[in-house]
Structure 1
Amino acid sequence: MEFKKIEYIDRKTGKTLVEKVPGESFLKFLYYNPFGVLPLELLVKRKFLSVLYGKKMDNMSSKKMIPNFVKEHSINMEESIKSVDEFTSFNDFFYRELKPNSRKIDRRRGVLTSPADGKVFVIENVSKDTEFFVKGEKFYLEDFLKNKSLAKKYKNGIMFIIRLAPVDYHRFHFPASGMISKTKLIKGAYYSVSTHAIRKNFRIFCENKRTLSTLFTDSFKDICILEIGATMVGGIKQTYIPYTHVKKGDEKGYFYFGGSTVILLLEKQSFRIDKDILENSRNGIETKVFMGERLGVSWRFREEED
Structure 2
Amino acid sequence: MNLRQQIQKILSQEDLNFLLTNRLPRRWLTQFMGRFSKIEQPWVRDASIAIWKYFSALDLSEAKKQSFSSMHDCFTRELKDGARPVDHDPSVMASPVDAIVGANGPIRGTQVFQAKGFPYALEDLLGTEENLADWQDGYFVTLRLTSSMYHRFHAPYDCTVEKVRYFSGDTWNVNPIALQRVEKLFCKNERSFIRTQFTGAGPCQGQRVALVPVAAILVASIRLHFLDVLFHLKYSGPKTIDCEAHFSKGQEMGWFQHGSTVIILAPKGFALSQELHQGANIKMGQALMRWAD
TM-score range, shorter chain: 0.7 to 0.9
Tell me which protein shows more helix as a share of its residues.
1
Give the deviation of 1:70 after TM superposition.
3.4
Tell me which protein shows more strand as a share of its residues.
2
Give the deviation of 1:140 after TM superposition.
1.1
Contact 1:123 1:129 survives alignment (8 Å) = no
Q: Counterpart in 2 of 1:275?
A: 274
Contact 1:122 1:158 survives alignment (8 Å) = no
Q: Counterpart in 2 of 1:139?
A: 120
CA distance in 1, matches of 2:54, 2:33: 22
Q: Counterpart in 1 of 2:260?
A: 260
Q: Counterpart in 1 of 2:25?
A: 43
| Residues 77, 159 of structure 1: alpha-carbon distance in 2 compared, 3 angstrom cutoff | same
CA distance in 1, matches of 2:263, 2:164: 14
CA distance in 1, matches of 2:73, 2:270: 37
| Residues 71, 52 of structure 1: alpha-carbon distance in 2 compared, 3 angstrom cutoff | closer
Structure 2: which amino acid aligns with 1:293? Q
Contact 2:165 2:193 survives alignment (8 Å) = yes
CA distance in 1, matches of 2:150, 2:262: 13
Say what the alpha-carbon RMSD is for the aligned residues. 2.8
The secondary structure found in structure 1 opposite 2:124 is: helix
Give the deviation of 1:28 after TM superposition.
3.8
Q: Counterpart in 2 of 1:290?
A: 283
| Residues 21, 151 of structure 1: alpha-carbon distance in 2 compared, 3 angstrom cutoff | farther
The secondary structure found in structure 2 opposite 1:151 is: coil
Query: How many aligned residue pairs are there?
Result: 264
Residue 203, structure 1, aligned to residue 204, structure 2: no
- Which of 88, 92, 97 is residue 116 of structure 1 equivalent to? 97
CA distance in 2, matches of 1:198, 1:187: 19
| Residues 131, 227 of structure 1: alpha-carbon distance in 2 compared, 3 angstrom cutoff | closer
Give the deviation of 1:223 after TM superposition.
0.5
Structure 2: which amino acid aligns with 1:63? R
- Which of 33, 53, 60 is residue 70 of structure 1 equivalent to? 53
Contact 1:120 1:162 survives alignment (8 Å) = yes
Structure 2: which amino acid aligns with 1:157? G
Structure 2: which amino acid aligns with 1:231? I
- Which of 225, 230, 235 is residue 239 of structure 1 equivalent to? 225
CA distance in 1, matches of 2:75, 2:130: 36
Give the deviation of 1:22 after TM superposition.
10
Contact 1:172 1:251 survives alignment (8 Å) = yes
Q: TM-score, normalised by structure 1?
A: 0.77
Give the deviation of 1:211 after TM superposition.
0.5
Give the deviation of 1:133 after TM superposition.
6.3
Q: Counterpart in 1 of 2:35?
A: 55
The secondary structure found in structure 2 opposite 1:184 is: strand
CA distance in 2, matches of 1:216, 1:21: 43
Give the deviation of 1:163 after TM superposition.
0.2
Q: TM-score, normalised by structure 2?
A: 0.80
Give the deviation of 1:154 after TM superposition.
1.6
Give the deviation of 1:66 after TM superposition.
1.5
CA distance in 1, matches of 2:185, 2:287: 27
When structure 1 is superposed on structure 2, of 176-185 and 146-155 the one drifting more is: 146-155
Contact 1:134 1:201 survives alignment (8 Å) = no
Contact 1:134 1:202 survives alignment (8 Å) = no
Contact 1:59 1:89 survives alignment (8 Å) = yes
Q: Counterpart in 2 of 1:29?
A: 16
Q: Counterpart in 2 of 1:11?
A: none
Q: Counterpart in 1 of 2:214?
A: 228
- Which of 134, 140, 161 is residue 180 of structure 1 equivalent to? 161
| Residues 212, 21 of structure 1: alpha-carbon distance in 2 compared, 3 angstrom cutoff | farther
Contact 2:118 2:180 survives alignment (8 Å) = no
| Residues 133, 76 of structure 1: alpha-carbon distance in 2 compared, 3 angstrom cutoff | closer
Structure 1: which amino acid aligns with 2:179? I
Q: Counterpart in 2 of 1:81?
A: 64
Gaps of 5+ in 1: 1-19, 301-306
